[in-house]
Amino acid sequence: MFQLHERAASVPTNSYQREDWQKGYESLKQEFDYWIDDVEGEIPQELQGTLFRNGPGLLDVNGQRIHHPFDGDGMISAIAFRDGRAHFRNRHIRTAAYLEEQKAGKILYRGVFGTQKPGGWLANAFDFKWKNIANTNVIYWGGKLLALWEASDPHRLDPRTLETLGKDSLNGVLADGDPFAAHPRFDPSCDFDSGEPCLVNFSIKVGLSTTITIFELDSSGKVVRKHAHSVPGFAFMHDFAITPNYCIFFQNPVVFNPLPFAFGLRGAAECMKFQPHKPTRVILIPRNPSAGGVQILETHSGFVFHHANAFEQGEEVIVDSICYESFPEVEPGSDFKQVDFDALDPGKLWRFHLNLKDQKVSRELIEARCCEFPSIHKKCVGRPYRYLYMGAGHNNTGNAPLQAILKVDLESGERQLWSAAPRGFVSEPIFVDRTGSTDEDDGWVLTLVYDAAHHRSDLVILDAKDLNKGAIARLHLKHHIPYGLHGTFAPGL
Ligand SMILES: [Fe+2]
């Protein structure tokens, strides 16, 4: 009896019901435009600007389910804060493929993450057409609101109405369909531009070797630097990190077998195989191409989607990243809503020390709690920093949907946790600094929370200095927003 009791006590109870989590993946077909009047607490008067979010809005095409949320058509939500009030608007992005499929009332394109056209493998074999779904991130830069999807070019939207204006070539730099990654980094003070801010992004072209192209845009949106580099092997790289002098990529140990994709049996992302015994390669590309060549270091096997930040310190470059022990491979006949969280490795926050003198990498675990979607103060990008905000599991062990926001003080080690469990599920937190503030954590954390109890989403505002205070405002939307991916806060809009 004693043993049984001990065992039961050591098993952490789930902080959520799977059925609750699943409901957040229903399509949102409608488009809304209204002032949010159902508010608990108070919206800070000083919070002025617009939060833009991107993510799959439709998880089906006229009832035909897509295979994975990453294949869903992009939808932008905009929550504009003005003088203590907030306005909500959402619009599906009118990509060419979205318009075609909505008109046809059925799936016409294969998705990278396994969505197939109806009709089995014969209907899908040797169909290599990409559908630019514009669903991963949304940024405001150079006076343009751009929806990003890493395998193709950006879509430009009207920042007020969210109307789709068409594809954007960055003033002729991108050819039609050229990739432009969904994870730009914003250098607050670029050494090459007399301390002006700049946007740094990349594109990946895969093959037997991989071409990484770096783009740097000045604050008017003009591409001022562009250089391409070839690195050996296949690479799946969703994100990168920057410092004043480097772009840093983690080349995860995966191999790609294109045959099941070619024969219509699997999506391209389902053809990647993780290699647990191979190292992760860390690629450093100088932001100034005349400052030296590409350096490639090696570290433990692992899989990284997102980096939190990087900075230079003496002979080292420090990179903080959310790292998984293995790539969560997408199984072809599986239903993503039935995912067994316990069977997958949780993302954990690691600090990597890249020693450029002896070309060695060491690493230390910073946070073992399951976490994703890091966010920091915009002035700290590429610089030493102290505070990090992330989506996190409610429990401090195991793998689970993100239900909490975790603040990590990298200097003192202190943690603060705000949790929406058991019926709330958080999205990427966005840190917004208070205008004129000097403290790195003086501001707010904004996150959309899916509330399964009411099948609606709330925009939750937290005091970034003290998450323990609880939500300072909770804005109840009239509907849910399907779990999203990334977004941005534009102070001037
Ligand atoms: Fe991402």
Question: In angstroms, what is the span from residue 84 Cα to ligand 1's centroid?
Answer: 30
Question: In angstroms, what is the span from residue 8 Cα to ligand 1's centroid?
Answer: 37
Least confident of 6-10, 222-226, 235-239, 292-296: 6-10
Question: In angstroms, what is the span from residue 5 Cα to ligand 1's centroid?
Answer: 42
The yes-or-no verdict on residue 11 having pLDDT over 70 is no
Confidence (pLDDT) at 343? 85
Question: In angstroms, what is the span from residue 274 Cα to ligand 1's centroid?
Answer: 19
> 120-179: per-residue pLDDT in tens?
877 777 777 778 999 999 999 999 999 999 999 999 999 999 999 999 999 999 999 999
The yes-or-no verdict on residue 456 having pLDDT over 80 is yes
Most confident of 40-49, 230-239, 339-348: 40-49
Question: In angstroms, what is the span from residue 276 Cα to ligand 1's centroid?
Answer: 22
Question: In angstroms, what is the span from residue 323 Cα to ligand 1's centroid?
Answer: 13
Spatial contact of 59 and 25, defined as CB atoms under 8 Å apart = yes
Question: In angstroms, what is the span from residue 199 Cα to ligand 1's centroid?
Answer: 17
Nearest-angstrom CA–CA distance, 124 and 186: 39
Average pLDDT over residues 271-291: 91
pLDDT band at 378 (very low <50, low <70, confident <90, very high): very high
pLDDT band at 444 (very low <50, low <70, confident <90, very high): very high
Question: In angstroms, what is the span from residue 417 Cα to ligand 1's centroid?
Answer: 22
Question: In angstroms, what is the span from residue 69 Cα to ligand 1's centroid?
Answer: 13
Q: What is the mean pLDDT of the chain?
A: 93
Average pLDDT over residues 19-45: 97
Question: In angstroms, what is the span from residue 486 Cα to ligand 1's centroid?
Answer: 7
Confidence (pLDDT) at 265? 76
Question: In angstroms, what is the span from residue 30 Cα to ligand 1's centroid?
Answer: 25
Confidence (pLDDT) at 223? 98
The yes-or-no verdict on residue 3 having pLDDT over 70 is no
Question: In angstroms, what is the span from residue 136 Cα to ligand 1's centroid?
Answer: 7
Confidence (pLDDT) at 330? 63
Question: In angstroms, what is the span from residue 487 Cα to ligand 1's centroid?
Answer: 10
Question: In angstroms, what is the span from residue 430 Cα to ligand 1's centroid?
Answer: 13
The yes-or-no verdict on residue 8 having pLDDT over 70 is no
The yes-or-no verdict on residue 92 having pLDDT over 90 is yes
> 169-181: per-residue pLDDT in tens?
999 999 999 999 9
pLDDT band at 332 (very low <50, low <70, confident <90, very high): low
Average pLDDT over residues 380-395: 98
The yes-or-no verdict on residue 5 having pLDDT over 70 is no
Question: In angstroms, what is the span from residue 368 Cα to ligand 1's centroid?
Answer: 20
Question: In angstroms, what is the span from residue 137 Cα to ligand 1's centroid?
Answer: 8
The yes-or-no verdict on residue 113 having pLDDT over 90 is no
Question: In angstroms, what is the span from residue 6 Cα to ligand 1's centroid?
Answer: 40
Nearest to 164 by CA among 97, 229, 232, 88: 97
pLDDT band at 331 (very low <50, low <70, confident <90, very high): low
Confidence (pLDDT) at 4? 35
